[in-house]
Amino acid sequence: MHAVRAAADGYGLPGGEERSEMPADDVLAAPIQLDEARAALDALERDLARAARARGASWDRSGSPQFSPKIQR
C-alpha cells in the first residue's frame, strides 16, 4: 500500500526522483487492501480483549482515552 502511494503520487520519494507509472487497477486495489487490513486488526483486537478478560483483566477508561489494562489479582 505504501509502495502504491509512493508510485502513484510521488509521496515519500527523494527529491527529484521521478514517480513510476502505476496502473489504475493497482491504485484502486489499495483501499480494498486497507479495508481487509482494518478487518484483520479489528478481529485481532477482539481476540486479544477476549483473552485478556478470560485472564481477569479489566479496562479503566476514566483516566485516558486509550485503554489502560489493569490486571485484577
Widest distance between CA atoms in the chain: 59
Please give the pLDDT value at position 58: 77
- Structural domain boundaries in the chain: 2-71
Query: pTM of the full predicted structure?
Result: 0.53
For 18-70, give the secondary structure using H, E and C: CCCCCCHHHHHHHHHHHHHHHHHHHHHHHHHHHHHHHCCEEECCCCCCCCCEE
Residue 21 has pLDDT above 50, yes or no: yes
The cell numbers describing 52, all together, are: 485478556
- Between 4 and 50, whose confidence is greater? 50
